[in-house]
A and B are shown apart, each in its own frame.
Chain A
């Protein structure tokens, strides 16, 4: 029916408009952050962007390939230390550090994914947990490269050519620009052939394999991409903060990242990004509610871990589709209301692949 396809294309324009508005909001936000604590607010918002970048990779892995990583903090750290070593110790430009972070995390991801994804079940989860702990020990013990438990300081700011990202605004734009790029790359992956294959293996691994999907190859590629995203985030983190220490790249942080991906929901990129924003801000409630008393702030920070843990358990139990599922429901209602006033039920036929 041509009328219906017209409606769908109109719906797609609505979605494109939503994305455009969101991009605009993210882009101009720093212009509205003023006042005495502007530096702090921008720093937090930059952290949010870094977490969005990592969680986008995890969303591919968890939401599309059906695997969970308990070691992404290690890839984040690997990227951070690789970049720090190349830029601070070897004195190379930031771009080379970024390339090193990508190379190291891609290799690490490959080395971990190829053997463990050949196995059925969820051995990848344990393998990544083991890898994460090994890396944490290496970050502490290999002190001639990493600076040991005291950390690695004096990492130069990110730069491209002669331009140095020195102001908080420029760093914010750099990080969010990279995050947007990662989401775009991921959107291309999930809306193309690999995405269709991944949706197929979500339905039935056996069926997907019978239809000629290279299951292992696909999962390995997704894992390597997610590791590289974390590595890029690590390089950005090291350069913007100027200091890295092993206490950042813990099992605990890996679980927080998983919480974000789980809360975001499966088969979605927008959901996990929203969850990353939301859960990162849990650690900084004073950004959302300025003037929050120090006592309340202390209580929230004391119960932060419990909040993350409860989010994980409650979402998996009672909201298995996460934010994305809720968003889909809202969009479905919108679609029926806006483009199908007749109120037919065909809106449900399209569900499941909203980005």
Chain B
């Protein structure tokens, strides 16, 4: 704010100096980490079912709401409440798959998509009945902020970076080195071949929903201390997570993470240089542009559709 050199000239005569730019970048990366977790959830379910799970955003909502419930109503200490909230969200994901996805045996993608749309509405409405319509908050995991080259960063943002990074590392480890992860990958590549070597694809679909719900729940837990949560925040997280997954390239976990971070950065830079009025529209416009211009995503390989 002291610098008047105007390194970066935004529209509306907005001048953005370096620390301020860094501030926007960090905020973007923080949101981007959340989007990355949601995008990973989309990717995992898409890989195992070929379906876009429109209820993915509700897992973010549930992660926050259930943690708040465990903390305020059950009176558990924060770490335990968060753990319980995330695990319960995972359980909801598993139950959702067993009750609503599995009974539709033919796996018709249009039918499953419509079911997830209905499920999204049902989950948010049930959350309203159970926890009420008001906004809920969690205390921050650690208070205060740190100074990074003149930009200040809330410690909670560090937690968000950390949680996202640990989730990605664990997920990579699981997919690369554990039998379960390999079985899930095998199913994503070829269900029938996987069945031939003794893997139960239905089980893998259920697990992928549970895993996606846990990732969404982590995102909800991590972001609730900063942004609060309510029964109706799900769809907006869902759309942004999906935009991130598409931006990166649907079906590839690393692309999903890169897509999330890129989307977060683009969003906060648009606030810095253009206007904050249409902040939420930016990610949607990016989503539409990518769908129309480069549907395989920025980081996805060329996957020309075969007829």
Contact = CB atoms under 8 A, between A and B. Distances in A.
Given A121-B109, A126-B242, A134-B281, A316 B118 contact: yes
A167 to B, nearest CB: 37
B226 interface: no
Nearest to A251: B235
Contact of B52 (A125, A131, A313): A125
B284 A130 contact: yes
Nearest to A115: B292
A207 to B, nearest CB: 12
A309 B118 contact: yes
Contacts of A138: 281
Given A120-B305, A313-B100, A313-B122, A141 B111 contact: no
Nearest to B121: A309
B295 A119 contact: yes
Contacts of B118: 255, 259, 308-313, 316
B125 A130 contact: no
B115 A137 contact: no
Contacts of A228: none
Contacts of B280: 133, 137
A203 to B, nearest CB: 14
B288 interface: yes
A258 B121 CA distance: 12
Contacts of B50: 121
B287 interface: yes
Interface string A121-132: 111011101110
B291 A312 contact: no
Nearest to A310: B122
Contact of B295 (A67, A123, A251, A258): A123
Contacts of B125: 303, 305-306, 309
Interface string B284-296: 1101100110010
A259 B117 CA distance: 10
Given A116-B291, A137-B281, A125 B119 contact: no
B172 to A, nearest CB: 26
Chief secondary structure at chain B's binding surface: helix
A209 interface: yes
A125 B243 CA distance: 13
Contact of A316 (B52, B104, B239, B305): B104
A312 B239 contact: no
Contacts of B100: 313, 317
Interface in A285-326: 302-303, 305-306, 308-313, 316-318, 320
Interface residues of A, number: 44
B278 interface: yes
A68 B103 CA distance: 21
B169 interface: no
Contacts of A305: 121-122, 125
B196 interface: no
Contact of B291 (A119, A262, A320): A119
B119, B284, B305, most chain A CB atoms within 10 A: B284
B246 A312 contact: no
Contacts of B284: 130-131, 133-134, 137
Nearest to A129: B239
Contact of B117 (A209, A255, A320): A255
B113 interface: yes
B148 interface: no
B295 A130 contact: no
Contacts of B285: 134
B58 to A, nearest CB: 11
Interface string B29-52: 000000000000000000000101
A107 B121 CA distance: 30
A66 B111 CA distance: 10
A29 interface: no
A141 B113 contact: no
B121 A252 contact: yes
A229 B160 CA distance: 45
B111 A316 contact: yes
Tell me which of A120, A126, A308 has the highest count of chain B C-beta atoms within 10 A of its own C-beta. Answer: A126
A70 interface: yes
B49 to A, nearest CB: 12
Contacts of B239: 129-130, 133
B121 A130 contact: no
A17 interface: no
B26 to A, nearest CB: 25
A333 interface: no
A206 interface: yes
Nearest to B111: A316
B256 to A, nearest CB: 15
8 contacts: A123-B291, A126-B242, A127-B287, A130-B287, A130-B291, A258-B117, A312-B114, A313-B119
Interface of B: 50, 52, 54, 100, 103-104, 109-111, 113-115, 117-119, 121-122, 125-126, 129, 235-236, 239, 242-243, 246, 277-278, 280-281, 284-285, 287-288, 291-292, 295, 305, 307
Given A129-B239, A309-B121, A313-B118, 4 more contacts: A116-B291, A116-B292, A123-B291, A306-B126
